[in-house]
A and B are shown apart, each in its own frame.
Chain A
Amino acid sequence: MKTTPLAWKNLTADWRRLALGVAGVAFAALLMFMQNGFRNALLDSPVQILRLLRCDLIAVSVARYSLPTDQVFPKTLFERSVTDADVVAATPLYFERPLAQLRVEGFPRRPIRVVGIPKQPGWFNDQTIESEIKKLSSTGTALLDRQSRLAYGFQWPRAGAEMDQAMQLAEQPLDVVGLINIGADFVNDGTLVVSHDSFAHFFPDRGAGRPLATIDLGLYRIRNNANPNAVADRLSKLDPLRWMVMTRQQLIDREIAFWNRQTPIGTIFFVGSMMGFAVGVIICYQILFNSIHDSLPEYATLKAMGYGNRFFVLLVVKQSLYLAILGFLPALATSWLSFQVINWAAGLPMLFTPSRIALVFGMTVVMCLVSGLMTVRRLLNADPASLF
């Protein structure tokens, strides 16, 4: 025999109350999504550039505690490492910010991150960057990050058109030949990508007059069947006092951990998420409490007829789960929209990943269950006779 889906019927009996409940849970979930999204946006922003790189291993100076600092390692060391049997391809990456003063006609000079890359394509995961690299053939040309902040004074051209503002980088004329997407972060308000030759041309004083002799990041691709950790260890041992080689993911994790520790965002957004959770528990409790309160006579009848505690616990648990699911779906849609808007307005990477969605869904379910179990106590303690 099919049993009556009482939990579902209870929940949908009064649509106004259901709508309020769903809206409440959705708001709590949205709040958690936003807090979590903000936290991740801040922590994702400094590693956007690393995520764009197509490589297995990355070498950095041991003193480089965070990407935007200027600790470098000598090119001679890098050249020694390239001969390793497991290394298939390698290239140096150069970064400059203090010397990279960009002046857009009519605006004050501001520092911008300049990344020196090889002219050969194949080192980026991003299709646009890969196809625009060929435009960097002549010295003095650059690709500009479309997500650079407004303060520089860039006037973005319409699709297909070229940037026509006069610009100077380190007091030399700069020709922007293409637009790409990387993203700003805590330190960098914008990014220019240039070839190694242009990098040396713009910053001749870097590295005491030998601009390419000191390297910021060394990128490696290794043989398919090689063990990345083993190769990284071997390369690190070439000069453990000067540099360290790690997988791209390890460097990303290390950078995120640095910003998490360096800034108070970890703590602050944890408190924020907990607030969302608490708000959700209260809202859910309100809804379930009212729903049970109003049907107490019905429950009393069921109890008097002999239904056991198990039945009532299951009933409330089911009701809270339905509420969690019904509330989560609109929250997901609204958050997705809000993420797009913030991404567009603030240039921050608001990313949705399955694990982040699962985290908020898990918290929503727990939130509803906690409030469900808080209400069920009241029901179980009741004496059938006194309920009428």
Chain B
Amino acid sequence: MQTPLALKNLADRPLRTIVSATGIGFAIVLMFLQLGFMGAVGDTAVKVFDRLDGELIIRSPEYLQIFDPRSVPSSLVPMILSVAEVADVRTIDLGLTNWRNPFNGELRPVALMGIDPERPSLNIDGIESLRKRLRQAQHVLVDSASRADYGPADGSSFGIDDIGTKLEITGQTVVITGTFVMGTGLAANAAVLTSHGGFNRLSPERLSPLVDQDRVSMIVIKLSGGVDPVTAEAAIKERLARLDGRSSSFKVMSMQEAIDHERWHWYVRTPIGIIFGAGVLIGVIVGGVICYMILAGDVIARLPEYATLKAIGYPNSYLMKVILGQAAWLAGLAFPPAILVSIALYTLTSVYSGVEIRMSFPRLILVAVLSMAMCGTAGWLALRKMTKAEPANLF
């Protein structure tokens, strides 16, 4: 049997191996963290879309982002309903405004959502009973994931104790009639759900002469069973095209398209997205450099041994195999503790920043592949110099 040289090299100086594995582990944690932050940005994009009850949406050509969607006329609703493929049409309003903390009077930005309580377009837990609490325009439901500085009665999160509390949103008095669970990611630190009537009363754009009063932010379309979404989309586009010029400019798209578009917006168009993207890149580069340093250090330390092997006739490919084997073992050794540390750091950051960061399976695979690639490249680079050298020069 061949001597497992890679393993023996590592076992030879266990302390050194532990230090090396810790270094590589840190590089892995760094990648996990940056990807986690980036993921939190992407999650922001899907918080609302994931809960919209339908397959297609119609929105304004001036749509900017989920909480600044501009609007479409509600008069489109009956026209879309008349399309054969469509089973149901629902509406949603979205915007950002300000909330006055009922205890200390401080203002805070808040995400505002409006639905038709008779035909709710949002799939949130308990919507069947919650929608009945939105009978009047001043009734609002508060997201229990909202941060504590918005003034919940128990000082930590909104719940049953807050029902009946009166406060000001956009300068108008509202009454909390219930709570729901949602979260809005990085878009805002609190969210409020009300009826369309309530939204029109609280929307910061209610006074703008540019905004048509009979409007909704987006239209959510549910298709009849067995209908191909692509066919339905084409049929709806055709129906809109037959209306006047302005109506044909409204965008019809599948929920997935909307989510992809929104992710793109958060990654590329927002400063936070751009910066976390750069962070991922830096994480990979720094990780690679750490691995290179560790492996190059090891190669230098063992130069005489490798030179001897070379001198007695082992080919470069064998040395390469040893180093790559060592790199793979180090990465494999570092990976499990790195996952644990990353999960701990995710939890810590989530608690302190109030933004949920979760470990996901695709991310595990991605980082595993990246760290193997990183260690492999670093090992190859570390060895390249030596393979070119003459054995005699190496002592």
A residues apposed to B, CB below 8 Å: 16-17, 20, 23-24, 27, 31, 34-35, 38, 41-42, 45, 63, 65-66, 69-71, 98-99, 101, 108-111, 149, 151, 170-171, 184-186, 205, 261-268, 271-272, 275-276, 278-279, 282-283, 285-286, 289-290, 294, 342, 346, 348
Between B19, B286, B354, the greatest number of chain A beta carbons within 10 A of the residue's beta carbon is seen for B286
Which residues of chain A are near B64, meaning CB under 8 Å? 110-111
B141 to chain A, nearest CB (A): 23
Known: A268-B37, A271-B345. A98 touches B208 (CB 8 A): yes
User: Mostly helix, strand, loop or mixed at chain B's interface?
Assistant: helix
Which residues of chain A are near B26, meaning CB under 8 Å? 275, 278-279, 282
A284 to chain B, nearest CB (A): 11
Between A and B, 29 residue pairs with Cβ closer than 8 Å are: A17-B297, A17-B300, A23-B289, A24-B289, A24-B290, A35-B279, A38-B278, A65-B98, A65-B106, A65-B107, A71-B107, A101-B210, A111-B68, A184-B271, A186-B272, A205-B207, A262-B189, A267-B352, A267-B353, A272-B33, A272-B279, A279-B30, A279-B286, A282-B19, A282-B23, A283-B290, A283-B293, A294-B301, A348-B274
Which residues of chain A are near B19, meaning CB under 8 Å? 282, 285-286, 289
Chain B contact patch, size range? 35 or more
Which residues of chain B are near A101, meaning CB under 8 Å? 210
The answer on a CB contact under 8 Å between B271 and A185 is yes
The answer on a CB contact under 8 Å between A98 and B204 is yes
A136 to chain B, nearest CB (A): 24
> CB < 8 Å: which of A20, A66, A108, A186 contacts B271?
A186
Chain B contacts with A in 348-378, Cβ cutoff 8 A: 348-349, 352-355
The distance in angstroms between the C-alpha atoms of A23 and B291, with both chains bound, is 13
> CB < 8 Å: which of B22, B61, B207, B272 contacts A108?
B61
The distance in angstroms between the C-alpha atoms of A264 and B275, with both chains bound, is 13
The answer on a CB contact under 8 Å between B272 and A42 is yes
Known: A20-B297, A262-B189. A282 touches B271 (CB 8 A): no
The answer on a CB contact under 8 Å between B62 and A23 is no
The answer on a CB contact under 8 Å between B297 and A286 is yes
Shortest beta-carbon contacts, A-B, top 5: A264-B353, A267-B353, A65-B107, A38-B275, A264-B355
A27 to chain B, nearest CB (A): 5
Which residues of chain B are near A23, meaning CB under 8 Å? 289, 293
Closest to B13 in A: A293
Which residues of chain B are near A264, meaning CB under 8 Å? 40, 186, 349, 353-355
B residues apposed to A, CB below 8 Å: 19-20, 22-23, 26-27, 29-30, 33-34, 37, 40, 61-62, 64, 68, 98, 106-109, 149, 186, 189, 204-205, 207-210, 269-272, 274-275, 278-279, 282, 286, 289-290, 293-294, 296-297, 300-301, 345, 348-349, 352-355
Closest to B209 in A: A205
A167 to chain B, nearest CB (A): 15
The answer on a CB contact under 8 Å between A34 and B23 is no
Closest to A64 in B: B107
Closest to B188 in A: A262
A279 to chain B, nearest CB (A): 5
The distance in angstroms between the C-alpha atoms of A176 and B108, with both chains bound, is 35
> CB < 8 Å: which of B109, B205, B282 contacts A98?
B205
The distance in angstroms between the C-alpha atoms of A109 and B208, with both chains bound, is 15
The answer on a CB contact under 8 Å between B293 and A149 is no
The distance in angstroms between the C-alpha atoms of A285 and B208, with both chains bound, is 62
Which residues of chain B are near A108, meaning CB under 8 Å? 61-62
The answer on a CB contact under 8 Å between B271 and A45 is yes
The answer on a CB contact under 8 Å between A279 and B275 is no
The answer on a CB contact under 8 Å between B210 and A268 is no
B25 to chain A, nearest CB (A): 9
Which residues of chain B are near A282, meaning CB under 8 Å? 19, 22-23, 26, 290
Which residues of chain B are near A109, meaning CB under 8 Å? 62
A183 to chain B, nearest CB (A): 10
Beyond the given A170-B210, A264-B40, please list 6 additional residue pairs across the A-B interface where CB-CB is below 8 A: A65-B108, A110-B62, A110-B64, A186-B270, A186-B272, A282-B22
The answer on a CB contact under 8 Å between A263 and B186 is yes
B362 to chain A, nearest CB (A): 21
The distance in angstroms between the C-alpha atoms of A290 and B301, with both chains bound, is 9
B349 to chain A, nearest CB (A): 6
The answer on a CB contact under 8 Å between A66 and B109 is yes
Closest to A170 in B: B210
Which residues of chain A are near B30, meaning CB under 8 Å? 275, 279
The distance in angstroms between the C-alpha atoms of A128 and B234, with both chains bound, is 51
The answer on a CB contact under 8 Å between A16 and B274 is no
Which residues of chain A are near B34, meaning CB under 8 Å? 272
Closest to A27 in B: B289
The distance in angstroms between the C-alpha atoms of A283 and B64, with both chains bound, is 45
Known: A69-B98, A282-B26. A271 touches B210 (CB 8 A): no
The answer on a CB contact under 8 Å between B293 and A279 is no
The distance in angstroms between the C-alpha atoms of A171 and B209, with both chains bound, is 11
The answer on a CB contact under 8 Å between A20 and B33 is no
